């Protein structure tokens, strides 16, 4: 059994990918399976944490002993995470949040009309992770905030810039492209710390990567 080094801790994990409605039957979405987020929730529970999993459009069984809050869009995910982060020791944002949503979601299915289709106007979604960091002192002092990033090249340099931009404590940077990460069983990453640290996590099961991330969170909470 895992060491109960998260016993007495409350953690919030977001997982999956948001869907931004275009009309009642269509959405803008992404390929996130939710597997890495579910692995984070499962391993935290195994280490004794009280875990809330905010799950965006994930078709995986609920991990044992984890409270699951299902959401659809980025705005719903923001509301759920902002409510759940109160009193939590750590928040891990592994969900793939859509950067943009349609300005209007129409209530009837868009039909072919024989003329050129209307363009879909987009508006930017709130950056939930940056918002958690900005409101931390008021809402949850001492909370460890972890982000995820997918980069195709210059992984460490781009990751370091993103960590600074977002202001989070740890950023788990995956190298994507060439079939890596999305929907696969294995994952690899480098975890960058606001203290300048960089921890390589070699390719392995998503549960192993999750455990290494929790090791770094536990170090920070100590």
Q: How many angstroms separate the CA atoms of 216 and 129, rounded?
A: 18
Closest to ligand C5P by CB, 146 vs 218, is 146
Tokens 């950023």, residue located: 171
Q: Taking the chain, what is the end-to-end CA distance rounded to the nearest angstrom?
A: 21
Tell which positions 135-174 bind ligand C5P, by CB under 6 A: 147-149
Rule CB under 6 A: say whether 43 interacts with ligand C5P. no
Q: Is 128 annotated as a binding residue?
A: yes
Rule CB under 6 A: say whether 128 interacts with ligand C5P. yes
Q: Is 35 annotated as a binding residue?
A: no
Q: How many angstroms separate the CA atoms of 173 and 151, rounded?
A: 7
Q: Is 129 annotated as a binding residue?
A: yes
Q: Is 27 annotated as a binding residue?
A: no
Neighbours of 195 (CB within 10 A): 8
- Do 39 and 118 form a contact (C-beta atoms < 8 A)? no
Name which of 53, 85, 83 is nearest 69 in CA terms.
53
Interface with ligand C5P: number of residues (CB under 6 A): 12
Q: So which residues are the catalytic ones? A: 30
Q: How far is the CB of 97 from ligand C5P (least distance, A)?
A: 4
> Nearest residue by C-beta to ligand C5P?
128
Stretch that binds ligand C5P, among 22-30, 95-103, 105-113, 177-185 (CB under 6 A): 95-103
Tell which positions 99-118 bind ligand C5P, by CB under 6 A: 99
Give the count of alpha carbons within 13 A of 98, CB side only: 25
What is the chain's length?
222
Q: How many angstroms separate the CA atoms of 49 and 92, rounded?
A: 13
Rule CB under 6 A: say whether 11 interacts with ligand C5P. no
Q: Is 206 annotated as a binding residue?
A: no
Rule CB under 6 A: say whether 129 interacts with ligand C5P. yes
Retrieve residue 53's tokens.
């999993």
- Binding site for CTP, by residue number, is 99, 109, 126-129, 148, 162, 166
Residues at the site binding ligand C5P, with contacts judged by CB under 6 A: 74, 93, 95, 97, 99, 125, 127-129, 147-149
């Amino acid at each position: 059994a895992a060491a109960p080094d998260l016993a007495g801790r409350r953690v919030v994990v977001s997982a999956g990918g948001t869907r931004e409605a275009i009309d009642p039957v269509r959405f803008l979405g992404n390929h996130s399976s939710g597997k890495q987020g579910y692995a984070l929730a499962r391993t935290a529970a195994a280490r004794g944490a009280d875990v809330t999993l905010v799950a965006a459009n994930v078709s995986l069984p609920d991990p044992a002993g984890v409270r699951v809050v299902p959401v659809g869009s980025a705005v719903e995910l923001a509301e759920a995470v902002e409510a759940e982060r109160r009193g939590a020791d750590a928040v891990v944002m592994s969900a793939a949040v859509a950067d943009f949503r349609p300005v209007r979601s129409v209530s009837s299915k868009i039909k072919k009309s024989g003329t050129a289709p209307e363009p879909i106007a987009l508006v930017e979604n709130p950056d939930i992770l940056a918002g958690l960091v900005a409101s931390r002192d008021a809402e949850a002092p001492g909370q460890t905030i972890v982000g995820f990033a997918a980069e195709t090249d210059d992984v460490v340099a781009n990751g370091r810039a993103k960590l600074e931009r977002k202001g989070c404590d740890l950023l788990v940077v995956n190298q994507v492209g060439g079939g890596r990460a999305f929907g696969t069983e294995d994952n690899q990453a480098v975890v960058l710390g606001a203290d300048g640290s960089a921890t390589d996590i070699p390719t392995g099961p998503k549960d192993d990567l999750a455990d290494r991330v929790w090791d770094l969170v536990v170090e920070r909470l100590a």
